[in-house]
Amino acid sequence: MIIINEVVVSKNFKPISRPTVLSVALLTAMAAQTAVAETVVLDTVQVTGNTITPELNSVTSEQIEKVQANDLEDLFGQSPEISVGGGADIAQKLYVRGIEDQLLNINIDGAVQATRLFHHAGRISIEPELLKRVEVNAGSGNALSGAGALGGSVKFVTKDPEDMLKPGEDFGGLVKGMFSSNTDSFKTNTTLFGRLSDDWSAMVSATNYNADAYEDGNGDEVEGSKFDQDFLFAKVVGHLTDSQTVRLSYQKRSDEGERPFRTQWPELPWNPLAPQDLERETVTFNYELNPIDNQYVDLDLTVYNIDSELDRGGDRAYFGGGESKGFDLRNTSIFGMHKVTYGVDYREDETHAGPPTDKNALEEDVKVKGVYIQDDIQITDALLLSAGLRYDDYELDDADNQNFDEDEVSHNIGLNYHFTENWSAFASYSEAFKGPTSQDAYKLFGSYDADLKPEDADNTEFGVAYESRTWFGSAKMYRSNIDDLIADEIGGDVVFTNIGDLESDGYVLEVGRRWENLMGRLSYHHNDIEIAGRDAGGYSTNGQANTIGDSLVATLDYQLNPAWTFGWNAQFVKGEDNVDLYAPWFPEGTTTDKPGYAVHDFYAQWRPSATEDVTITLTVRNVFDKYYLDHASVADIADINDGVRGFAEPGRDVRLGIAWQF
C-alpha cells in the first residue's frame, strides 16, 4: 500500500477534471520507485500545471546520487538530447541537440552563466553534490527561457537546508566519501544544516576531490587529466512571513591541475602541459512573495554576482576573467483561464584579459536588458495554449572601442491537446534573439566585424505523448535554425563575424514501462546539424555545434525491497562516416570518421537501516572498459591536423560511496 501525505495544488494552476501529463507522470513515477510490500509514505507532491512538450532531459537529486556524479558528463548520461564531451572536467562542453552551450541560456539558481574565458575550455563548472534538480529545455523555448536561449536553456537548482533536514529535526549533518578506482582517488563532502529559528535555516557544505590522471579504455594514462578540486557552498533561507521567503547563497569552486595549453586536446609537443587554475565565486539572492489568498501576486526576484578567473602559467602564461551581475524580476497572475507570467531582467558582463589591476588589460562590456510576458491559457480541460513575447536589447562595448546596439522582439506559441485521458498531441513555434556579446576573454586582442549582425533562432517541433500508470512514451520532431551565427573564422587575424546559418533537424522517440518495483525506458535521438551548408563536424572550438551520431539510451531501475535498489544505464551511439570538417582552413570535402560505441553503467544502492541514516552505493561506469571518444569531443583528426584529437573517455571506473546522515 502507498500513502501520499498530501497533494498541494498551486494557486497558479487551474484545476481540471482530466489528469495532466505532468501530474500523472509525477505520481506514477513516485509510485513505481517506492512500491514495496509494506507501507511507504511519500513526500508532499506539488502539482503546478502541465507543459507543452514532454520532458526527457531533467535530472533529479536521486539520479545524481545513484550514479555518484562528479561532472557534467555524469549528470546527463540518461538524457537523449544532451551530449557532453571533453574527457577532463575542465574541458567538458555541453551540447543540446548538437548545439554548444555558448548558444544556450544557463543559470544556477537563476544566476546566468554568461562569460567564456577560453574557447578550448568548458565554461560550465558545477559541483553535482548539492544539486536538487536540473531542468533542460531543448530548442529556443518560450519567453521565460531567458535572454540568448538560441538553442535552449539549462537551469541548475541547489538544495535548501530544509531539503536536508529529517522531519521533526532541527539540526543534522551529512558526511560522504567516495573512492574511485580509475583515478585512485577519494572524494569527500561534509554538510551541516539546521534551523536557526522557526523561520530561518542555514547550511554549509565543503567538498574536496583530488584525482590522479584517469586511464582510458586501453589502460593508458591520460596526461593532463589530474586535478585538485574544492567546492564551498553556503545558503541561508528565511520565511519572513507565511507568504515571503528569502534565500541567500554563496558558492566558490576551484579547479587546479597541469593542463594542456589547449585544454580539450591532449598533450603534444606544441600543446604542452602548464599549471592552470580555474575559480568561480557566485553570490545569489532570491526573494519570493506568494500570498495564498491573492491570485494576482506570485513574485520572484533573483539578484546575482558571478566572478570567474582562469590563471595559466608556463611559457604561454595567460590570465583572463569575467564578472556577470544582474537581476530577474517576474510575477505570475491568474485571470480566469489565463496564467500570465511577466517580468524584466538585466545583466552586465565584464570580460578582461590580463589582471584587472593591469592598466594594459583588455576589457569588454556587455549590457543585456529584457522585458517578457508568457500566457498559459487553459482553454478547455483538454487544451492548453501558451503564447508569449520577449524583447531584448544588447549593447556591446568591445576592446577596440566599437559599440554595437541591437534589439528585437521574439515570439512563441504552443499547444498541448489531450484527445484521450492518456494520449496528447503538442506543437510549438518559438523564436530567440541574441545580440553581439563578448565571445572569448582569451581573444580580446581580436576584433569584431563592423557590420556584425545579431543572431536569430527559430524552433518548430510537434509530436504525441502517451502516459498511463504502466506505460509511457512520446515521439517528437523538431527543426531549429540560427541565422547569422557569430564566430571567429580562425586561420588568420582574429575577427568575429557572421559565418552563416546553423540548421539542426531531428526526432526523439521514447517508450517506457513501469511495473510494481521495476521501471524500464528506451529513448532514441537522431540529429542532423549543419553550419553554412556543411556538417558541424568534429572540430568545435568556437562555441558553435558538433555532429553527434544517432543515440539510443536504455535504463532499468529495480527496487528489490526498501533496502536494496539496482540500476543499469547504457548508451549506444552510431558511428558517423565521412563527416565534413567545418573549419575554414580545411578545404571543402575534408572529412573524418567518428566511430560508434556502446557504454554500460551499473549501480547498486543499499540502505541497511529503515531510517536511511547510512547509504552505501556501488557504481560502475563503463563496465566493459570501452575505449572511445565521445562524439561531443573533438574527433580524432590526428592524421589531418598535426595530432589533434579529443580526450579519450575514462575506462572502467568502480566508485564506492558511503554516506552517513545524522
Band (38; pLDDT cuts 50, 70, 90)? very low
Which residue in 150, 36, 54 sits closest to 100, CA to CA? 150
The residue ranges of DSSP E strands in 70-170, in sequence order, are 82-85, 93-96, 99-100, 105-108, 111-112, 131-138, 152-158
Residue 625 has pLDDT above 60, yes or no: yes
Q: Is the dihedral of CA 440, 527, 457, 418 positive or negative?
A: negative
Which residue in 496, 504, 427 sits closest to 458, CA to CA? 504
- Please provide residue 2's backbone torsions phi and psi, each rounded to the nearest 5 degrees: -120, 130
3-state helix, strand, coil in the chain (%, to 5): 5, 55, 40
For each of the domains in the chain, give its residue range(s) and CATH number, in order of start.
2-661 (2.40.170.20)
Q: How far apart are CA 564 and CA 517, in angstroms?
A: 11
Q: How far apart are CA 176 and CA 165, in angstroms?
A: 16
Q: Is the dihedral of CA 457, 347, 104, 263 positive or negative?
A: positive
Q: Which of 11-25, 79-93, 195-209, 351-365 has the lowest mean pLDDT?
A: 11-25
Residue 32 has pLDDT above 70, yes or no: no
Q: Are strands 447-448 and 495-514 parallel, antiparallel or unpaired?
A: parallel
Instruction: State the DSSP string of 575-613.
Output: -EEEEE---TTSPTT-EEEE--EEEEEEEEEE--STT--
- Top mean pLDDT of 41-45, 341-345, 632-636, 641-645 is at 341-345
Q: In this predicted model, which residue has the larger pLDDT, 264 or 38?
A: 264
What percent of the chain is predicted at pLDDT more than 90? 66
Q: How far apart are CA 211 and CA 89, in angstroms?
A: 11
pLDDT at 611: 63
pLDDT at 337: 95
Residue 403 has pLDDT above 80, yes or no: yes
Query: Cell numbers at residue 564, please?
Result: 536494496
Check: CB of residue 447 under 8 Å from CB of residue 323. Answer: no
Distance separating the N- and C-terminal Cα atoms of the chain: 28
- Please provide residue 129's backbone torsions phi and psi, each rounded to the nearest 5 degrees: -55, -40
Summarised one tens digit per residue, pLDDT across range 214-266 is 999 999 999 999 999 999 999 999 999 999 999 999 999 999 999 998 888 88
Beta partners for residue 442, in sequence order: none
Summarised one tens digit per residue, pLDDT across range 527-549 is 999 998 888 887 765 668 999 99
Q: How many other CB atoms sit within 10 Å of the CB of residue 316?
A: 11
Q: How far apart are CA 426 and CA 467, in angstroms?
A: 14
**In the predicted model, what is the mean pLDDT of residues 78-99?**
88
Q: How many other CB atoms sit within 10 Å of the CB of residue 396?
A: 22
Summarised one tens digit per residue, pLDDT across range 327-358 is 999 999 999 999 999 999 999 999 998 776 67
Q: How far apart are CA 167 and CA 44, in angstroms?
A: 12
**In the predicted model, what is the mean pLDDT of residues 625-646?**
90
Question: With helix as H, strand as E and coil as C, how does 445-492 read?
Answer: CCEECCCCCCEEEEEEEEEEEEECCCEEEEEEEEEEEEEEEEEECCCC
Residue 492 has pLDDT above 80, yes or no: no
- Indicate the DSSP class of residue 292: T
Element containing residue 61 per DSSP (H, E)? helix 61-67
- Indicate the DSSP class of residue 140: S
- Indicate the DSSP class of residue 12: T
What amino acid occupies position 546? Answer: N
Which residue in 268, 398, 259, 252 sits closest to 317, CA to CA? 259
Residue with cell 556524479: 69
Q: How far apart are CA 435 and CA 455, in angstroms?
A: 6
Q: How far apart are CA 99 and CA 543, in angstroms?
A: 8
Beta partners for residue 520, in sequence order: 513, 556
Q: How many other CB atoms sit within 10 Å of the CB of residue 15?
A: 8
Determine the distance from the C-alpha atom of residue 179 to the mean position of all C-alpha atoms in its chain, rounded to a whole number. Answer: 25
Residues in Cβ contact with 220 at an 8 Å cutoff, skipping those fewer than 6 apart: 648
pLDDT at 13: 38
For the entire predicted model, the pTM comes to: 0.88
Tell the burial category of 252 from Cβ atoms under 10 Å away from its Cβ (0-12, 13-18, 19+): middle
Which residue in 425, 293, 448, 289 sits closest to 366, CA to CA? 448
pLDDT at 41: 33
Residue with cell 536521486: 62
What amino acid occupies position 351? Answer: T
Q: How far apart are CA 570 and CA 621, in angstroms?
A: 10
Beta partners for residue 188, in sequence order: 177, 208
Identify the three-state secondary structure at position 103.
helix
Summarised one tens digit per residue, pLDDT across range 568-594 is 999 999 999 988 887 667 777 888 999
Residue 20 has pLDDT above 80, yes or no: no
Check: CB of residue 191 under 8 Å from CB of residue 234. Answer: no
Check: CB of residue 395 under 8 Å from CB of residue 359. Answer: no
Query: Cell numbers at residue 261, please?
Result: 595549453
pLDDT at 325: 96
